[in-house]
Amino acid sequence: MSQPENVKKPEELRIGVFVCHCGLNIAGTVDIKQIVEYAKTIPDVVFVKENRYTCADPGQEEIRKAIREQKLNRVVVAACSPRMHEPTFRRTVTEAGLNPFLFEMANIREFASWCHPSNPQAATERAKDAVRMAVAKARLLMPLQTIEVPVTNKALIVGGGIAGMNAALDLAEMGFQVYMLENTQSIGGHMAALDKTFPTLDCSICIEGPKMVDCGRHPNIKIFANADLVRVDGYIGNFKVKIRQNPRYVIPDRCTGCGECKDVCPIEYPNEWDMNLGTRKAISVPFDQAVPLIYAVNKDYCIECFKCVDVCGARQAIDFEQKPEEVEIEVGAIIVSTGFDVYLPYDMPLLGYGKYPNVITSMEFERLILAAGPTGGKVIRQSDGKKPHTVAFIQCVGSRDKNKYPYCSNFCCMYTLKHVVQLKEKYKEDVEVYVFYMDIRSPGKGYEEFYDRARERGVNFIRGRVSRIDEDPKTHNLVVHSEDQTLGQPIEIEADMVVLATAAIPKKGSDEIARILNLSRGADGFFMESHPKLKPLDAPTDGVFYAGACQGLKDIPASVAQGSGAAARAATVISKPKWKIEPIISVIDESRCRNVTAKCGICVDKCPYGAIKAEPNKAAQVITASCHGCGTCVAECPQDAITQMHFTDAQILAQIRAALEKDPEDKILAILCNWCSYAGADLAGTSRFEYPPSVRAIRVMCSGRVDRDFILEAFRLGAGMVLVGACHLPYDCHYISGNYKMKARTDALKGMLTKLGMSPERFRVEYVSAAEGIHYAEVITEIDADMKALGKEKIKAENAKLRPIIENMLKRKK
Amino acid sequence: MPFKNVKKDTADALTLEWLLHVKHYKLTLDKKRCVGCQICSLACPKDAIKLEKQLKAQGEKAKKAKVDIDLAKCNFCGVCDVSCPYGAIKLTLNDGHDLLLLQKESYPELVRDIKVDTKQCPKDCDECEDSCPLDLITVTRVGFDGKPVESVAALPPSQQKRVQINLAIQKEYCPTCRVCEFKCAPGVIKVRKFTEGKIAIDQAKCPGGCRDCLDVCPITGALYLSVADNKVYVNELFCVYCGACKAVCPVDEALTLKRTKIIHTPVRSGAWNKALQRLASPVDAVKELKAAGSRKAKEQVSRRFSMEEKIR
C-alpha cells in the first residue's frame, strides 16, 4: 500500500463533523441525535454540530465559523450525496481558509434515510458507519493545489470540409490563429463535389465556394493542404503537432493558379475527385474552385517532359526536386472534422456494381448531373453514351444492413429525393423514375415538403428491398428484382440506369487519427464523443473536439452547426490564459518504479489516455495535464509506485476498515464508480427504492481504480459480500476503458478466490448506469439474499480459511 | 460506371484498358508485329514494360522475348507507341489515335526518312516488295485508263509510258532497315535509318552452334551464319539496332549493342532526354543536347537535367 512518505502529518487532527437534517429528508428517518452523539466519540473529532439545512447560508456560515473558532483542519459534512453538494462545501471551507481537499462528505440521505425508510434503526446504523468512514478518510486527507497550465491561444482543425471550415472561420473571427490541415489538395470536402443541395436545390459550390475563399484569404487562417497529421504531443492547451507537408512539386508562393501548365500537359489520369468518371492532367488542381489554388504534379503519372516548366517560364513555380517537409506547430485545442467516405459496393455482387456499366452510385450520379462534371451535366449511360429513359434508385445499399453497416446513413433518402426531383425537372416526361426504399426518412426542416415535391413530380416510390439486379448483355439494360411490400408480391422493373444510394462510412485513416489523438471509435467506426447527450462535441481527450460527420453522419446544416459548436467549445479552452486541472491525478513514486531497473511500462499500456510515459531505465512519468484521474494505473502498478491524489490506497483502505469495523460478516462492501454506479445508487435513493441496509458504499472516480488489494483486504477483515459497481460495457466508461481494465483484473481475482474455496456469489461485479436506480436496488437485494442464504457461519468459516492466504499475499506486497 | 482497368492477354494481342464513364483508353500490343526488342521497355518513363525471355525447347528455334506491360504502372502516355520501331504498340482514346503526347509536343516522333522516286522504276519490277522483311511495301501499276496493270511488258509500247507505278510503304511500321534500298538496283528508294549505332559479336564469347539471335532477328540479312565456323556474324548495313537479338542472347557480353543517335522530330522534352539516356547512353544524350540548342536553352535544360553535370 503506497503512501508518499514525504507527506507530513499535520501537528494535530481537528475534525469537525456537521450533520444535516435536510429538513425531514434525513431527520425523518435517521436519528440525528444518535449520529451526533456517536460522532463525538470518534477519535480526532473535536467538534460536532447539527443543522436543519447545512447547504443553506446559515449552515455554511456555521462551518466557516467553526473552522475559524475551533481551528478545524478537516471538515466532514454528513448530508446528501457528494455528487450534489461537494462543490458547494468545498467552496465553503475555502472561504474560511481551509484547503478544499481537506473536506469529505458522508452520504446519509440517498444512501441511508431515503433508501431504508421502513427501518430507521438500520438507516441510523448505516449513517453512523458512513460518518465513521468519512472521518477515517478525512484523517488522511492532504491539501492539494489546483493545477494550472498555460494555454496556447491557437487551434488546429483536422479536415477542411464544410464542418471544419465553419469551425475555422468562427475561431478566426473570434481572433484566434487557426491552422487547417487537409490531406487532399483542396479544402471543401464532399460538399464541393455536389451539384445541388436539398431541400432548396441551391448550387452547392456557389454557396460553399465563398466560404472556401474566405478560409483561404483570412489573415488568421493558415491552410496546410496536401498534408498529413504525423504526431500530436502534449495536452489540453499545449499540443505540439507535427504535420507532414507532402510535395506538390509546385512552389505555393510562386504559383499564380493560371493553369497554363495544365494546358500543355500531355498526361491525363482518372480524377478521383470526379469519382474517376473523368480525367485530370498530371499537373492540375482537382477542380477549378480549389482552395488553395495551387497546382500539383502527380509524379505517379508525370513523364517529366517539362513542358509545364517551359510554359511557367520566369515564374519558376515548378520544382521537381521538392521533398516532403515536416512542420511543427503549437495549438491549445484541436477540432477533428475528418468527415466520411462513400461505400463502393463491389462486394455486393447481386447488385452488379463494377460489373454492369449502367449501375452507378449516387455520388457518381452527382458528378454526372453536375454542369461542371465530366459529361457537362448530361446524364448518360456508360455503355452507349445515351440518355436513360428509366432510372431506378435503390436506397440503403450497405446501410441498415446487418451484414454491412447496420446504421442509417442519415442523408441518403434526402439526396435521392434531390436526384429524382432534378431528373424529373430536367427531362420532364421523358424520364420514368423509380425509387426502391425501406423507409423515407425526412425529419429535417423542409424535408417532408421536399418529399411531397418528388411525389408530385410523378416519381414511383416502391417500398421494398431489392434482391438482385440482372443485365441484358445486348442492350445493357437492367432488371431490378424487388418485393413490393404494399402489394405484397415480387416485382420486376426494367431500367436503363440504376443508381445506388450507398452507405456513408468512416473515413479511411480514422484509426490512424484515433491513434494519434487518442480517440475512441464506436462499433460503427465513427469517433466516440465524451458523452452522447451532454458532451456531443467533446472527444474523450481533453482539448479535442469533433465537428461534422466524423462523429456520426449528418447533413450539411447539421455539420455547419456542429462546426460552429466545436469552435465555441474550443474557444472555451483557448480564450483562457491558463487552464485549471483537478488535482486528483496520479503521482509516481520514482523510488519504487520498476521501470528504472527493468522494462515494465504496465501503467503506460493501461492508461486509457496515453498520459504516462516510460523511457527505458527511467521512472515512468505522468503527463499531469493529460491525466484524467481515473486511477487505473494506480490499481495496475505491480509495485504500488503510483498514487492517485485524494483517492490514495491508504484513504480507501481506511474507509474499508471503518466500514467493516462491526459485524463484517453481515455487511456488503460496495466500491462504486462515481459516474455510473454511484449515480445509480443515488438514484435508487432519490427514487425511494428500498433495499437491504447491509451495504456500505465507497466512492471511487472509476472502477478502474479498484485495486485487488481492496477486495483482498475486505475479505481479510471478514466482509460478507463484496460488490464492484461500474459503468456498462463497452462504451459507458467515462474514462474510455477503465471498466474493461477492472473486469480483466477482477475476473482473475474471482477465479483465484473461488479456487481457494470462497463461494463465488460473495464477490460480484455489476454494471449499473446512472439511470438504473432500480437495478442497483435489485442487485443489493439479491446480494443480501445470497448472503443470508450462505449464512454467517459459512461465511465465517470461508473467511477463516482464506485469511492466512490473503494475509500472506498482502504481506508479500509490502 | 466506376473506373475500371482491364488487362487482356491473348495469342494475338496484349491489351490494357482504362474504362472511364466518358473516356476509353486502350493500349494494344500487336504480338504479330512485336519482335521482342528492347525499345519500349527502355523508353517507358514509368518502367511499366518488362521483357521476358522465353524458354526454348531442345532443337527448336529461339522464341522472341515476350513484352509484358504492368497495368498498375502504365499511365497510358503513349511513349511506347511513338517509340516502337515496328509500330507494334498503339494507344487509342475513344478509338481515336490522336496522341496528346504528340499534340502537346511533349515527345518527338521518329523520323522515317524514306524517299521514293517511281519514275526510275524498271518495268514489272517487284524487287522491293519481295525484299521487305516485314511485308510493308506494295507495288501497284495503273494504266492510262485507271485499270490495274498486271504486266507492263505485255502492253503496247505507247501505253507502257503512261503506266503509273505506285509504291505504297506502310511507314508507321517501318524500322528503316534499308534492305529495300539495297535490293533496288536503280536507286528508286532512299532510306535513312533513324537509329545509328554499333553492333558486334565477340566471337570468343559466342557459343558455337547457338543461333538464338539469328532466329529472332526480324531483318533478313542483318545477321548471318558463317559457313566457315558456324557462328553468327553481323551485317551492320541492315541492322536497325532494335536489340531483339540482345534480348535472347544467352551469354553476357557476347553480343554488344550500342545506339548512339536517334533521329527524331525537333522537340525539346525532358521525357525524351530521359528515354534517350536509356536507349543510347547519357553521353549521347548530352551530345544531342549540346548540338541542339543555344547556350541559354542548354542552361535551361541542364537545370532540369542534372545528369549532364555528372557526366562532365
Q: Does A266 touch chain B (CB under 8 A)?
A: yes
Structure-block grid coordinates of residue A783: 446480494
DSSP state of A385: S
What are the CA-CA distances from residue A587 to residues A156, A620, A629 (Å)?
30, 10, 10
Q: Can you give the pLDDT at residue B309?
A: 47
Which among A366, A395, A403, A218 is positioned nearest to A292, based on CA atoms? A218
Question: Which residues of chain B make contact with A382, given a CB cutoff of 8 A?
Answer: 1, 19, 21-22
Choices 3.30.70.20, 3.90.1150.10, 2.40.70.10, 3.40.50.720: CATH for B4-98: 3.30.70.20
SS3 call for A184: coil
Q: Which of residues 548-587 of A touch B (CB under 8 A)?
A: none
- Determine the average pLDDT of the residues in B66-70: 95
Q: Does B103 touch chain A (CB under 8 A)?
A: yes
Q: Cβ A278–B22 below 8 Å, yes or no?
A: yes
Q: Which has the minimum average pLDDT: A200-209, A333-342, B150-159, B212-221?
A: B150-159
Tell me the nearest-neighbour CA distance from B46 into chain A, angstroms.
Answer: 7
Q: Does B269 touch chain A (CB under 8 A)?
A: yes
Residues of chain A with pLDDT under 70: 1-11, 812-814
Q: Does B2 touch chain A (CB under 8 A)?
A: yes
Q: For A570-626, write each residue's pLDDT tens digit.
A: 999 999 999 888 899 999 999 999 999 999 999 999 998 889 999 999 999 998 888
Question: Which residues of chain B make contact with A278, given a CB cutoff of 8 A?
Answer: 20-23
Q: How many residues appear in chain A?
A: 814
- Give me the DSSP letters along A757-809: T--GGGEEEEE--TT-HHHHHHHHHHHHHHHHHH-HHHHHHHHHHHHHHHHHH
- Give me the DSSP letters along A444-477: STTHHHHHHHHHHTT-EEEES-EEEEEE-TTT--
Which among A513, A477, A799 is positioned nearest to A660, based on CA atoms? A799
Tell me the nearest-neighbour CA distance from B110 into chain A, angstroms.
Answer: 17
SS3 call for A166: helix
> Domain B113-192, what fold?
Alpha-Beta Plaits (3.30.70)
All residues at 6 or more sequence positions from A366 whose CB lies less than 8 Å from its CB, including other chains: A193, A194, A195, A275, A415, A419
Q: Can you give the pLDDT at residue A72?
A: 94
Backbone phi, then psi, for B7, in 5-degree steps? Answer: -130, 130
Residue A246 and residue A321 in contact, taking contact as beta carbons nearer than 8 Å: no
Q: Cβ B75–A305 below 8 Å, yes or no?
A: no
**Where along chain B do the CATH 3.30.70.20 domains lie?**
4-98
Residue A222 and residue A213 in contact, taking contact as beta carbons nearer than 8 Å: no
Q: Does B79 touch chain A (CB under 8 A)?
A: yes
On the CB side of A107, CA atoms within 13 Å amount to 22
Q: Cβ A306–B23 below 8 Å, yes or no?
A: no
From B4, B22, B271, residue closest to A303, measured CB to CB:
B271
Structure-block grid coordinates of residue A277: 468518371
Identify the bridge partners of residue A269 per DSSP, sorted by sequence position: A280
Q: Is the pLDDT of residue B307 over 50?
A: no
Report d(CA B55, CA B45) in Å as an integer.
28
Q: For A256-313, write each residue's pLDDT tens digit.
A: 999 999 999 999 999 999 999 999 999 999 999 999 999 999 999 999 999 999 999 8
Residue B253 and residue A291 in contact, taking contact as beta carbons nearer than 8 Å: no
Tell me the nearest-neighbour CA distance from B74 into chain A, angstroms.
Answer: 8
All residues at 6 or more sequence positions from A777 whose CB lies less than 8 Å from its CB, including other chains: A115, A684, A689, A690, A691
Q: Which of residues 345-384 of A touch B (CB under 8 A)?
A: 353-354, 356-361, 364, 368, 374-375, 380, 382
Q: Does B45 touch chain A (CB under 8 A)?
A: yes
User: What ipTM was estimated for this complex?
Assistant: 0.90
Report d(CA A628, CA A542) in Å as an integer.
9
Q: Is the pLDDT of residue B296 over 70?
A: no
Chain A residue with the nearest C-alpha to that of B99: A266
Report d(CA A245, CA A227) in Å as an integer.
4
Question: Domains in chain A and their CATH numbers?
Answer: 1-146 (3.40.50), 149-246+324-339+507-580 (3.50.50.60), 248-322 (no CATH), 344-505 (3.50.50.60), 585-626 (no CATH), 660-814 (3.40.50)
Report d(CA A436, CA A466) in Å as an integer.
7
Chain A residue with the nearest C-alpha to that of B77: A267
Q: Cβ A303–B304 below 8 Å, yes or no?
A: no
Tell me the nearest-neighbour CA distance from A231 into chain B, angstroms.
Answer: 31
> Domain B202-249, what fold?
Alpha-Beta Plaits (3.30.70)
From B4, B22, B76, residue closest to A374, measured CB to CB:
B22
Which phi-psi region, left, alpha or beta, contains residue B36 (left: φ > 0; alpha: ψ -120 to 50)?
left
Tell me the nearest-neighbour CA distance from B21 into chain A, angstroms.
Answer: 5
Residue A407 and residue A525 in contact, taking contact as beta carbons nearer than 8 Å: no
On the CB side of A285, CA atoms within 13 Å amount to 19
DSSP state of A704: G
Question: Which residues of chain A make contact with B4, given a CB cutoff of 8 A?
Answer: 354
Which among A688, A695, A646 is positioned nearest to A130, based on CA atoms? A695
